[in-house]
Amino acid sequence: MAKPIDKQVIEATVFRVVEDTFRQLCHVEFSAEPVAEEKDIIEYNGNIRLFPMDKFNGQAYAGVINFYVTQKDHDDKYPVGTFVLYLKEDAVERLAKALGRSAREAEDEQVIMSVVGEFAGILGGNVKNELKAQGYVDLLVSSPLAYKNAVPEGAPFDYNLFKKQEFSFSFWKQKCVVVETCIGPVPRITR
């Protein structure tokens, strides 16, 4: 049976992915050191509860993806991991521009939701690729879902997990990005 990925491996991977992705797409560096915390998972109706507005004490967006070990796990909606990207409202416009959207498009709610989902997918995909490069199996990634201010139904997660990791990032001299992740046992690649 696979062992859970060490939380230091997850922390280093998420820090590297966020830093590299923001540097490449937004041409920006951290304006403060990232902060990592371990927190209890709050479960409701079998899903992990997600609170975008609590991350920034105001308007916020969330992009959610899940990781799966097999296609059957995906089809049965049994994720091995959950990755959530929270964005402070004023940071989303900067990301929209970095992804090639015009200033006018960056004000359109549908475009904003698309950008949030796209960016969550980019970061989650990069985390998956980093884990694969470290010897873990190539995980399947769900399509991203995007939300504004609340995620009423929560998100699927590995129900055997009780803790999640939360990472806070500052860009443009403000905390504007938070990533939450919980990842259960992921098999190593056997040769």
- CA torsion 132-137-138-144 (nearest 10°) is -90
The answer to whether residue 191 sits within a structural domain is no
159 lies in some domain: yes
CA distance 183 to 186: 8
For residue 78, give the CATH number of its domain.
3.40.1550.10
| Residue 61 maps to a domain | yes
**Which helix H or strand E contains 83, and what residues bound it?**
strand 81-88
Split at pLDDT 50, 70, 90, the class of 49 is: very high
Tokens representing residue 17 in the block: 């992915």
The residue written with tokens 């989303």 in the block is 92
7 and 165 Cβ atoms separated by less than 8 Å: yes
Q: Please give the tally of structural domains in the chain.
A: 1
Residue 21 falls inside a structural domain: yes
CA nearest neighbour of 52 among 160, 158, 145, 114 = 145
pLDDT confidence of residue 1: 64
Does a structural domain hold residue 100?
no
**pLDDT, tens digit, 9 for 90 and up, residues 83-124:** 999 999 888 888 887 778 777 776 788 888 999 999 999 999
How confident is the model at residue 28, as a pLDDT?
A: 87
- Within a domain: 99: no
Domain that holds residue 75: 7-89+116-183
